Structure 1
Amino acid sequence: MGRAKAKRALVLAREIVEDIESNARGPGDRLLHEDAMLARYDVARATLREALRFLELQGVIHLTKGRGGGPVVARPQTADFASSMALILQFMDADLQALLELREAIAPTVAARAAQMATAADLAALEGCLAQLERERESPQFEETNRRFHDLLGWASGNPTFGLLISALHLLTRSMSVGLGYSAQERDTQLRCLGRVLHAVRMRDVAGARRQMDRLIAGSTQYLAERSPELLAQKVRWGNANRET
């Protein structure tokens, strides 16, 4: 497809997204069949199919096959964002150190916002996650549940961009640190620190939540740097975000 046609396909993809939004279409809703879409948007078949493939790659729709098939509205997931982020970061030659520095910069602010905005449901989810983490002190699932606590805290901030970015960072760093694990001592440290963060959030102690999270993240980064310094230079790759969990 030439540049002009590719540009038209992108413009059409944006039009389709606008129509999905203006018509309050939700996940599972079917869009028009191909012939109806061709008439609706007055474009060539190749342009329409290119636009639909682009939207499918972005997680906006999925294309069903067979009789009665066609485009069905989906909901873009964190993994879609993480995949795009990883692709760009690969060309920027970014490494794990850069991701950890980003986490250090935003995690304390996320905790502080959660102390302001967390709902009763958010607090219940965080408390449940911490209790599960206590039970998994010696389990291989400890690291994954630890990440989930931070994800929940991000979404508890009341700012969806924080939740999205924290969760995306975890999708990227998960596959870059497979097999690293925490020592028994570090797990105990993590549990104590997370408990202090949660207490501050529960008490609506904004400054305390920021301070406790800052200590937790700084200590975690130091632990990683001392235990496996070569890991920090590992480059971000597009496939990092595509790993099955």
Structure 2
Amino acid sequence: MISKSNASLNPGTVAAIKAKRALQVAQAIVLDIQSNAREIGDRLPQEEDMLARYEVARATLREALRFLELQGVIHLQLGRGGGPVVSRPQTRDFASSLSLILQFMDTDLRALLELREAIAPDMAARAAERATNADLAALSDCYAQLERDSETAAFEETNRRFHDLLGWASGNPTFGLLTSALHLLTRDMAVELGYSAQERANQLRCLARILSAVRLCDSDAARRHMERLVKGSSEYLAERSPELVAQKVQWGEVA
């Protein structure tokens, strides 16, 4: 609702004020979700109750809810008895927001490869220090699948999954989140490339050494082998397809 003090403002300023208010309401809703210990699948209060709780116009509340839906915090169920339901933001939600920002920063694949070179060695070292038995089992199963996929089109996807598992095994969710998001951002960009048989064999050897180091809790070896792997992979991509490495990040639907 526009107050009398805002009545003389130009439409652009009024819109900015309304958008800021909607963001404040969205933040308040998130705080209430956490403070009330709401879980995935829990329904939020009815619209009339939320209007009274946050003291805003209906349009402002709905804008706040749409913002939270875009971020993956809630989903809006349709039909009788529908309304906002608590969700858990997924990696694809983060990747989508990140790709939008990176597009406006004119970011290319080379920059993402450099970022991977910077974080992957430390990620592997942390995994060697902190991986649980469940993490080790998942990594072992994934590596076995990677060996089976070594001569198929599934190799690249299974390879990405191994690195994702390693990121989450680090015990630091930001490593897992960023690693998985980078893979989502680059999946479509690299789909036309594929690895040669020689490069696949090289990747398998490096990953076997990394997995062994993680099992032995040898963080130095895990870091060293991962540094060698990601540096060699970046060089391989740059040499085989320089036009791909120069390709710009584009915002779009992230699967």
TM-score scaled by structure 2?
A: 0.94
Is 1:7 the equivalent of 2:20?
Answer: yes
CA displacement at 1:179 relative to structure 2: 1.7
Distance 1:26 1:13 in 2: 17
Is 1:37 the equivalent of 2:50?
Answer: yes
Q: CA RMSD in A?
A: 0.8
Distance 1:186 1:81 in 2: 31
Assess if the C-alpha contact under 8 Å between 1:190 and 1:216 holds in 2. Answer: yes
Instruction: Select the residue among 59, 64, 72 that pairs with 2:77.
Output: 64
Q: How does 1:195-210 map to 2 (within 5 A)?
A: 195-210=208-223
Give the structure 2 partner of residue 213 of structure 1.
Answer: 226
Is 1:141 the equivalent of 2:154?
Answer: yes
Give the structure 2 partner of residue 16 of structure 1.
Answer: 29
Give the structure 1 partner of residue 10 of structure 2.
Answer: none
Is 1:101 the equivalent of 2:144?
Answer: no
Matched residue count:
242
CA displacement at 1:27 relative to structure 2: 1.0
Assess if the C-alpha contact under 8 Å between 1:147 and 1:170 holds in 2. Answer: yes
Distance 1:91 1:65 in 2: 34
CA displacement at 1:85 relative to structure 2: 0.6
Give the structure 2 partner of residue 155 of structure 1.
Answer: 168
Is 1:87 the equivalent of 2:87?
Answer: no
Assess if the C-alpha contact under 8 Å between 2:95 and 2:254 holds in 1. Answer: no
1:95 aligned partner, one-letter code: D
- The runs of at least 4 aligned residues of structure 1 exceeding 3 Å deviation read none
Is 1:121 the equivalent of 2:131?
Answer: no
Distance 2:220 2:47 in 1: 55
1:56 aligned partner, one-letter code: E
1:7-60 residue CA offsets vs partner (Å, 9 max, x unmatched)? 110000000000000011111110011111111111110110000000000000
1:147 aligned partner, one-letter code: R
CA displacement at 1:243 relative to structure 2: 3.9
Distance 1:125 1:174 in 2: 22
CA displacement at 1:92 relative to structure 2: 0.4
1:128-182 residue CA offsets vs partner (Å, 9 max, x unmatched)? 0000000111111100000000000000000000000000000001111112111
Distance 1:6 1:88 in 2: 19
Instruction: Select the residue among 68, 77, 99 that pairs with 1:55.
Output: 68
Gaps of 5+ in 1: none
2:206 aligned partner, one-letter code: C
Distance 1:140 1:26 in 2: 39
Distance 1:24 1:139 in 2: 45
CA radius of gyration, larger in: 2
Assess if the C-alpha contact under 8 Å between 1:108 and 1:213 holds in 2. Answer: yes
Assess if the C-alpha contact under 8 Å between 1:175 and 1:243 holds in 2. Answer: no
2:211 aligned partner, one-letter code: L
Gaps of 5+ in 2: 1-13
